[in-house]
Amino acid sequence: MKIHLSQLNPVVGDLIYNKTLILSEAKKACINDAKILVTPELGLTGYPPEDLLLDSEFIDSCKNCIIEIAKKYPQLMIVVGYPRNHEGSLYNAASVLHNGEIAYTYHKNYLPNYGVFDEKRYFTEGRESTFFECEGNRVGIIICEDFWVDDPIERLIKLNVNVIICINASPFDLTKQQKRIENAKKIISKKKVLLVYLNALGGQDDLLFDGGSFIYDGMNGLIKEFPQFKQISECIDLSNKNKSVLSINEGMDILLGGLILSLHDYLKKNNISKVFLGLSGGIDSALVLYIASKAIDIKNIYAIMMPSKYTSKASLEDAEELAKSLGVHYKTRSIDGLFNTLKNSFDNDFKGMPEDIAEENFQARIRGITLMGFANKFKGMVLATSNKSELAVGYSTIYGDMVGGFCVLKDVPKTLVYKLAKYINKKETIIPNRIITREPTAELKFNQTDQDNLPSYDILDSIINLYIEQKISPKAIARKGFDSQVVKKVVELIHGNEFKRRQSAPGPKITSKAFSVDRRYPITNRYKQKI
């Protein structure tokens, strides 16, 4: 039996585009003599459609699109994911379109309602199993979360199903692909069933879908694996058990590809062609500029160096070298004049008081205003350059260096920023080595370094990982050998800067627990954890 798998990148809410995409895949499937075409979970709407699902007109339009698709290629069995209104309830559905009509429909049994998911806000849980016949095969259908629960697959196996199609919109994180394959092994190993796992692709605001679709044979293990972060359209003969398996441990290359795709899709899907960013000569802006250079045409990238009297010669040299090597537009614009004017305007108000964070933040905010001015005037968007470590502890200036429409490093810890930069330079030096090796600094005062206010990033990122991602208590973290006062400070900074993170730009989730989409913590609260 030939099955056509389409690892697609739909656009949320663009039903015409997504319908056309599915029909294009149906045409390819017919040319390849496939019997079944499989498309991702909610492939017609894109995932997640969020409150578009509360619009009755939108739901009706989905139904009309499904009817159109069914009539176009009646000879093909097309598995399409969409929101289905049935008997007054809305379901996350997968229908098999055949002979010009909806032949079979499965309603997702288990609705995730944790982390990034809130499907119970919109959908009703299905109760039944669904299967159909094709060339002597009994083919069952499940949807995403059903894969992580034993019951739906066990019920299908009891119905003598030998092929299970699982359509997904499963968001990426650094360990997700390995977990998917391990779970497939756990649930169908030594069973005479073939699992076809088809995942969505693309960036959607704070979420990133990596594809990574695969076929797992209960008797022979993993036999087919698609690349992550690439749109794939391929016809597979399920009778062919020859293995075509990728490495799932390509780490930096996969992550870099994901970050590039997230920025590319955010810009393309929002019809943004130009980007502006402040190029400081530091590691974060260097990495963001590199990612941007791979995501869009370099002629649409504007890097602006905004030096002050505190900016080092090294920063100036490295920023210019990087911009020239990548071929982007580059401009130097001093902020000293504006800084002095602004600072002097507060002379009476701040009389007798030493300079501190207020004056430091003046500089960051002037840079933010400058970037927004260029973006507004020339119809573009500012790229924020903060990373997860900085956002965790508030080591960033709200309305200053946090300004921007998208923050591609939002969930990337500082230590991982350095690893990515070193990986980029593995074959040739693109990011000047001095950017990677010199001590990190905001350069808002003379001889300033990040470690004036923070522990080393190795220690900081370890504590953030343990506390946020692994949910380990401060006391338990301290027992692991970390200085209790350092742990206390980091945890207090995390909680004290929730208000900043709430106002930060969207950016792709790449860890198991991202601040913006996975963690919901009250800004106003008086609970204090003991250390």
Catalytic annotation, residues: 41, 108, 144
Among candidates 6, 46, 1, 45, which has minimal Cα distance to 29? 6
- Long-range contacts, 54-60 (Cβ 8 Å, 24+): 54/122, 58/13, 59/83, 59/85, 59/90, 60/85
Q: How many CA atoms lie less than 13 Å away from 231 in the CB half-sphere?
A: 10
The SS3 call for residue 263 is: helix
Q: Could you tell me if 214 and 38 are in contact, meaning their C-beta atoms sit under 8 angstroms apart?
A: no
Rounded CA separation 430/302 (Å): 18
Name residue, tokens 């040739």: 428
Dihedral Cα 10, 15, 19, 21, nearest 10 deg: -30
Please calculate the CA angle 236-202-165 and round it to the nearest 5 degrees: 35
Q: What is the largest CA-CA distance in the chain?
A: 87
Q: What is the CA radius of gyration of the chain?
A: 26
Sheet holding 163-168, edge to edge: 131-134, 137-143, 163-168, 194-199, 214-217, 221-225
Among candidates 335, 328, 336, 255, which has minimal Cα distance to 286? 328
Among candidates 228, 302, 232, which has minimal Cα distance to 258? 228
